[in-house]
Amino acid sequence: MLQRQFNLNGMHKFGDVILGGLFGINFYTTFSELSFTSEPKDPICNGFDVLGFRQAQTMAFAVDEINRNSKLLPNILLGYSLYDSCVKLGISFRAALSMTSGRGEPLQLNESCFGKPPLLGIVGDSSSTRTIAISSIVSLYNLPLVSYFATCSCLSDRKRFPSFFRTIPSDAFQVRAMLQILRRFGWTWVGMLISDDDYGLHAARYLQSDMAQSGRGCLAYLETLPRKNYRTEYERIVGIMRKSTSRVVIVFAHETHMLNLMQEVVKQNVTGLQWIASEAWTAATVLQTPSYMPFLAGALGIAIRRGEIPGLRDFLLRIHPDNETLNSQDNNLVRDSSYRLIQNLKFYTLPLIYLVGILLCIPTRILYVI
């Protein structure tokens, strides 16, 4: 049983059965100072991520589409509980515990039955490390955890993760694609940067193993990007990149790491590098800015295959923080995220429906995706 109620940013829809969801709507988190004299305050999430917001709304759209089709689940109404993970393990874990333990007051399921709608499964998380931790808990209850973005090959171990599934290929395929790119262009002397988590560490292990077996390439350097924005460490890493004779850099990391890294790359004016991106930051809109264009232009990246979902675009363009169905305490994900985005961008006079339309139409002009 939960010892306290977590104040999580999310949106909910009642149904006969509930689907959970974990999405990274914000990618920076500020925690209060811990002391023994007062209860810790809830963390503050910031750094609005359009992709994570769009993924969460896509799940809401899918549930609505299923409910409207009487042939798919007759006499059953699907609901959802979607939470912002803020790209932090602790917050994702809180959300998973809240969903598996039940939230809110008991509801009248029928004329003679009271209780909480059962949770069928959880969609998420977007990170391999967070997914590994959450899966170790939900698998105890045989609760399915279906990830749309966790690519670590370690998650393919059915003995360790019996109830885990995913809709994206593992990193084993991504590493093979990168090796094919290196062989295609004859690049045999490359540098590699990885995130300090399961996603980066396992990818580096696979890449090094395949390079050693094929004998067609060597790593000039292998550096781990720190979890936090430690400027001295980023200065050291970029200094190694600038002095190295290798002009090809493979980065297996998340967009938060790339933001911190690119700030130092711009500061030291390190140009002329051929970047190879993992799928985690290939199409990140936060990196598609004029200040980064001279440094990232021409980068190659691995991307998820694009798909068209009829009606999704119109659904996204209708999202508004003042919508009566969204503007409530239980559905604060849209309202808080939208207002924070407007404040950060200083677009106080633009309605959100127009703003989201602009963001959805930003072209990917930096990365050539494979």
Predicted confidence (pLDDT) per residue in 239-278, tens digit: 999 999 999 999 999 888 999 999 999 999 999 999 999 9
The continuous run of DSSP H or E covering 212 comes out as helix 198-214
Nearest to 204 by CA among 240, 228, 172: 172
323 pLDDT band (50/70/90 cuts)? low
Strands 113-115 and 367-369 turn out to be unpaired
46 pLDDT band (50/70/90 cuts)? confident
pLDDT in tens, 95-147: 998 888 765 445 555 565 656 678 899 998 988 999 999 998 899 888 999 99
- Structure tokens of 92? 């994702």
Q: CA-based diameter of the chain, in Å?
A: 74
pLDDT of residue 238: 97
For residues 121 and 143, the answer to whether their CB atoms sit within 8 Å is yes
Sequence letter at residue 2: L
pLDDT of residue 110: 55
Residue 340 has pLDDT above 80, yes or no: no
pLDDT of residue 51: 83
pLDDT of residue 78: 93
pTM of the model: 0.77
Q: What is the CA radius of gyration of the chain?
A: 22
pLDDT of residue 103: 55
Lowest mean pLDDT of 31-40, 61-70, 154-163, 187-196, name the range. Answer: 31-40
pLDDT of residue 1: 39
Q: Rounded to the nearest 10 degrees, what angle do helices 333-345 and 352-360 cross at? A: 80
pLDDT of residue 117: 75
Most confident range, picked from 158-162, 237-241, 337-341, 361-365: 237-241
Average pLDDT over residues 63-70: 94
pLDDT of residue 7: 75
**DSSP-derived 3-state class of residue 161:** coil
pLDDT of residue 357: 37
Average pLDDT over residues 44-62: 89
pLDDT in tens, 83-99: 999 888 889 998 998 88
pLDDT of residue 367: 31
Under 8 Å CB-to-CB from 193, ≥6 apart: which residues?
222, 223, 224, 225, 237, 249, 250, 251, 252, 253, 257, 261
344 pLDDT band (50/70/90 cuts)? very low
- Structure tokens of 258? 């790339």
Backbone angles phi, psi at 278, to 5 degrees: -80, 165
For residues 172 and 153, the answer to whether their CB atoms sit within 8 Å is yes
For residues 323 and 353, the answer to whether their CB atoms sit within 8 Å is no
For residues 21 and 305, the answer to whether their CB atoms sit within 8 Å is no
> Does residue 214 or residue 68 have the better pLDDT?
68
Give me the chain's average pLDDT, please: 82
Sequence letter at residue 178: M
What is the C-alpha separation between 119 and 160, in angstroms, rounded? 22
